[in-house]
Amino acid sequence: MRPLDLEALLPSAHVRFAPDFAARVGSLVARLAGAERREGRGRNTFLGAGEEFVGHRPYRPGEDLRGLDWNLLARLDRPYVRVMRREASERWAVLLDASASMGVGVPGKLSCAAQVAAAVAAAGLRAGVHVRVLTTSGRDLEVTRGGGLAELMAFLEGEVASGDAGLETLLVPARLRDSGRVFAIGDLFGVGVDTPARVARPGRELACLWILAAEELSPPFTDAVEWVDPETGEELRLRVDPSTRAAYEAELSSELERWGEVAGRHRMRFGAWRSDRAFEDIARTVLDP
């Protein structure tokens, strides 16, 4: 096996943010927050309603009155809101796949995933939650309300698609113990379909966003193809005929359908996106109520 030239094989291995990225994130988060206010959903709708009751807190002006505990109001003559576990923790975990396979495609899958991760984290900060960003390279960043998008971007720009550690290494219950919402962003290769069952629990929302290069969704096959595994450097040369292409597309479709079924069983948000899709479109699927 020849040494793997990462720069030559994966020209999109680095994270790149467009000059207008920060402005676009600001617009996205402002639109989401504005929609909440207009619809009267109150504070922290990004956190979801939660399922497990853990206590009460004072009502905040402008919140949805449906959250009031009317029995407590009648007894104490003061408004209190029922608190669910997700609001009690107010902690998000944003998991980013930075394995070598994320350097595939133009634009690179890693850049797309990093943009989505930054947007999701920024929305969490706007909602007042504690955000932790973890990457498969072993780096992590904790950001509180006092942090900002510039800090997130600088951290993510330090990532390079490399190694063979995928999202499975981050989807570990012990590491996500305090997280009310978990966002896994990457290509999901190597993630077992039983993993969501281990991570999901009452009061936690799990979202898995599968980022794929255009070439992976619809490979431009020719008669002779040389495949190179970016994570191992292993090479495979073969000739591709129409039946081989059809088999590849059927397998990919089956895998996406299987993940869709897993999402339905575990109330998990799931979507598969091309890396050239606008990050706003992808982020909205997990941030919109």
Q: Provide the pLDDT for residue 32.
A: 85
What DSSP line would sit under the chain, residue for residue? -PPP-HHHH-TT-B----TTHHHHHHHHHHHHHHHHHHTT--TTGGG---SSEEEEEE--TTS-GGGB-HHHHHHHSS-EEEEEHHHHH-EEEEEE--SGGGG-TTTTHHHHHHHHHHHHHHHHHHTT-EEEEEETTS-EEEE-TT--HHHHHHHHTT-B--SS--GGGT--GGGGTT-SEEEEEE--TT--TTHHHHH--TT-EEEEEEEE-HHHHS----SEEEEE-TTT--EEEEE--HHHHHHHHHHHHHHHHHHHHHHHHTT-EEEEEETTS-HHHHHHHHH--
Q: Provide the pLDDT for residue 48.
A: 46
Q: Provide the pLDDT for residue 45.
A: 46
Q: Provide the pLDDT for residue 39.
A: 52
Could you tell me the domains of the chain?
A: 40-86 (no CATH), 90-287 (3.40.50.410)
Q: How many residues does the chain have?
A: 289
Q: Provide the residue-wise pLDDT of the chain in tens; the chain has 289 residues.
A: 444 454 545 668 899 999 999 999 999 999 887 765 555 444 444 444 444 555 666 777 777 787 788 887 777 788 887 765 545 447 899 999 999 999 988 889 999 999 999 999 999 888 888 899 999 999 999 987 666 899 999 999 999 999 999 999 999 998 888 888 999 999 998 899 889 888 887 778 899 999 999 888 877 666 666 666 666 667 767 777 788 888 888 998 999 999 999 898 888 999 999 999 999 999 999 987 6
Single out the residue of 10, 231, 209, 255 nearest to residue 113, CA to CA: 209
